[in-house]
């Protein structure tokens, strides 16, 4: 369990740690779910180097990326086409969460982040509150069962997957080696 997400992630980003790159395979499946942005709002939670947020912006979404690590935001803000995205620094689990409009986002994404969320029920409830009617919650996460034991904390267990996928009107899962991509609709 990561007690202080900002300190934990900042140390890694500041040391130059990188994470699995966004692949065409992932964006193709995502794009099929979202359709064109047409100026609708998208939110990328734990936006890291900004690759997914920039992808959403390139598809026509007015995109916000939220991350708690200053070094990740610095990297994201200097990346190609970063001006198309609003990046903001916030701990999404803080008792004073960032001021994001309720029921406003057509797409909310969380890539390689969900496993690290401490209070998953509270987080899911927050995401549901942010989604516009008919919106999409897109989660990409390793599965604990598919990663080596020492990397188990980076993935979700079967029980955590059940929690993630319960209570949505539609759930679609697509596997990409050790990752599972979830398209969840309220
Ligand atoms: C494994 S990285 C993935 C980054 C990016 N989503 C990607 O796919 O490359 C996890 C990211 O989530 C951010 N993060 C983790 N917990 C967070 C929290 N509570 N609030 C905001 N950002 C968080 C970290 O700073 C880090 O950038």
The answer on 145 and 71 residing in a single domain is: no
Interacting residues of 177 by C-beta distance below 8 A, sequence separation 6+? 146
Q: Number of structural domains, the chain?
A: 2
> Residue 180, Cβ neighbours under 10 Å: how many?
20
pLDDT tens, residue by residue, 152-178: 999 999 999 999 999 999 999 999 999
Confidence band of 65 (pLDDT split at 50, 70, 90): very high
Please choose from 20, 46, 87, 155 the residue to mutate so as to test ligand 1's pocket, defined by most ligand atoms within 8 A of CB: 46
Query: Does residue 7 belong to any structural domain of this protein?
Result: no
Q: What is the token pair recorded at 128? A: 């549901």
pLDDT of residue 80: 77
Ligand 1 neighbourhood includes 126 CB (under 6 angstroms): no
Domain membership of residue 155 (yes or no) is yes
Q: In the prediction, which pLDDT does 129 show?
A: 97
72 close to ligand 1 (CB < 6 Angstrom): yes
| Dihedral sign for Cα atoms in the order 142, 145, 150, 156 | positive
Query: Mean pLDDT score of the chain, rounded to an integer?
Result: 96
Give the three-class secondary structure for 107: strand
- The parent domain of residue 84 ranges over 48-91
Look up the pTM and report it: 0.97
What are 102-152's pLDDT values in tens digits? 999 999 999 999 999 999 999 999 999 999 999 999 999 999 999 999 999
């Amino acid at each position: 369990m990561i007690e202080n997400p900002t300190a934990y992630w900042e140390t890694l980003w500041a040391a130059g740690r990188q994470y699995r790159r966004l692949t065409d395979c992932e964006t193709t499946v995502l794009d099929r779910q979202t359709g064109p942005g047409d100026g609708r709002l998208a939110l990328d939670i734990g936006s890291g180097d900004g690759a997914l947020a920039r992808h959403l912006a390139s598809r026509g979404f007015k995109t916000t990326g939220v991350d708690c690590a200053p070094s990740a935001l610095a990297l994201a803000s200097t990346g190609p086409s970063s001006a198309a995205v609003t990046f903001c620094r916030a701990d999404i689990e803080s008792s004073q969460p960032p001021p994001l409009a309720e029921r406003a986002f057509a797409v909310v994404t969380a890539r390689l982040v969900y496993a690290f969320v401490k209070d998953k029920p509270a987080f899911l409830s927050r995401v549901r509150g942010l989604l516009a009617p008919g919106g999409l919650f897109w989660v990409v996460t390793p599965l604990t069962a598919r990663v080596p034991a020492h990397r188990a904390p980076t993935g979700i267990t079967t029980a955590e997957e059940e929690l993630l996928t319960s209570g949505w009107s539609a759930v679609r899962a697509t596997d990409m080696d050790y990752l599972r991509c979830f398209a969840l609709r309220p």
